[in-house]
Structure 1
Amino acid sequence: MRTTAEAVITPSRGGRGRAAGARRSGVVLLTALLAAGLAGCVGGGGDDVEQTAGAPAPSGSAPATSAPSTEAAVLVPGGSAADNQPFFDQVNRALIASNPDAGGVEITSNLRDNGFDIAAMQVTVDTTTVGVEADSVQFSVKWGDDCLIGQYGRGEYASMVAPALGTGACLIGQTRPIDW
C-alpha cells in the first residue's frame, strides 16, 4: 500500500557514490517525516487528501489525476484550497514547461506573480548541505486551514491538498526563508 507521503516524495533512483547516497538518505528521512506528520494530521485512510500526479492514489480515495484540464483554471480568492488546486497546478505546470530547471525561487515567485500570497508560502532548499543539487523541491501555500503542496524534481511534478499541520505550517522539516 502506498502512503500519501510516498505519492508526493519520490526517492532518487539514479546516481552512485556518497552524494547519491546522501541524497537518498535525506529524501528517505523527509519521506518518513512527511508520512508521520500527515498521518497525524490527516487521519484515517487519506480520504481528506486530494492529489495530482501519475502515481496511484492511496487505497480508499479517488484515483489521482495526471492530465491537466482543458479549461483554463482561475484563482478563486474566496474558495478552498481544493477549489484552487487546478489553478495551482496550471501555474506550476506552465512554469515547468517554460523552464524545466525551475527551482524554489522561480516557483514561489511565479506563484506570487499569479496571485498567491508569498507570505503564506514555504519552500525547501534547492541544494543539499554538501552542495549537491537536491533531487526535488517541495513548496506550499497555506490556504485557510489547508495547504496546497507541490513537488518538482527530475522532470516530475505532483501536488496535493492537505490539512495544515498542528504547528500551522504546511511542510515538515527545514525550509528556507522566502526573502525575494
Structure 2
Amino acid sequence: MARRLALLTLAAAASLVLTACQSSAPTPSPSEAGATSASPAVSAIFNPGGSAQDNKAFFDKVNEQTLAANEKASSNDLVNALSAAGFDKGAMQVTADKTPTGLDVDFVIVSVKMGNECLIGQRAVEGYVSEVAPVLSTGECLIGQTQAIDW
C-alpha cells in the first residue's frame, strides 16, 4: 500500500513539476494498484457516515461510470460526478487536466478525504486505478499544487 501511494503521489508531483510538456511519469498499472472492482461481499452503496474503505466500491463505481461515458473525463467531470453521487466537494482534491501550455495531461488524480483516510482515484491512458490511503501529515490527500475546486 505504501508503494502504491508513493507511485500515485510521485505521479502527481511529476505532473505538477513538468509544466512545458506532457508528463511522462509512470503510472501504476491495475495489477500494481489492486483491483478496482468490488468483491462480492463489498457493497457499492454510498455510506456518508462510513470510512473511506466502506465507500471505496461506490467511489470506484462512480468514477468507472464517468470514465465509461468519456474515457478522457476532465477533472471537473470527475469532481462533479462524485459530488452528485453524495461525496463532499469540500473534501476533494483534484489535479489539473491540462498543462499550463494547454496540453492534455497523461492522468488526472481525484481524492476525497473521509476522516483520517483518503479515497484516491487515477484516470490514465492505461485505465483507472484507486486505493484507500491515510491522510498525509499536511492534512491533505494529494501532494503538490492541485486545481482549485471553485465551481
Query: For this structure pair, what is the TM-score category when the shorter chain's length is used for normalisation?
Result: 0.7 to 0.9
Unaligned runs of 5+ in 1: 12-17, 32-52, 58-63
One-letter amino acid matched to 1:137: V
CA distance in 2, matches of 1:155, 1:178: 25
By how many angstroms is 1:67 displaced? 4.0
The two structures, once aligned, show a CA RMSD in angstroms of: 2.8
- Over 3 Å counting, the alpha-carbon distance change for 1:94 and 1:9 in structure 2 is farther
Name the counterpart of 1:56. 32
Unaligned runs of 5+ in 2: 13-19
User: What is the identity percentage for the equivalent residue pairs of Structure 1 and Structure 2?
Assistant: 43
One-letter amino acid matched to 2:30: G
Say if 1:81 and 1:147, in contact at 8 Å, map to a contact too: yes
Give CA-to-partner distance per residue, 1:6-48, whole Å, 9 cap, x none: 367669xxxxxx835xx22xx37xx8xxxxxxxxxxxxxxxxx
CA distance in 2, matches of 1:141, 1:76: 13
- Over 3 Å counting, the alpha-carbon distance change for 1:72 and 1:149 in structure 2 is same
Confirm whether residue 169 of structure 1 aligns to residue 140 of structure 2: yes
Greater relative contact order, per chain length (Cα 8 Å cut-off, separation 6+):
2
Name the counterpart of 1:115. 86
Q: Which has the larger radius of gyration?
A: 1
- TM-score normalized by the length of structure 2: 0.80
One-letter amino acid matched to 1:55: S
Say if 2:95 and 2:108, in contact at 8 Å, map to a contact too: yes
- TM-score normalized by the length of structure 1: 0.68
Pairing partner for 1:19 from 18, 21, 25? 21
Confirm whether residue 86 of structure 1 aligns to residue 57 of structure 2: yes
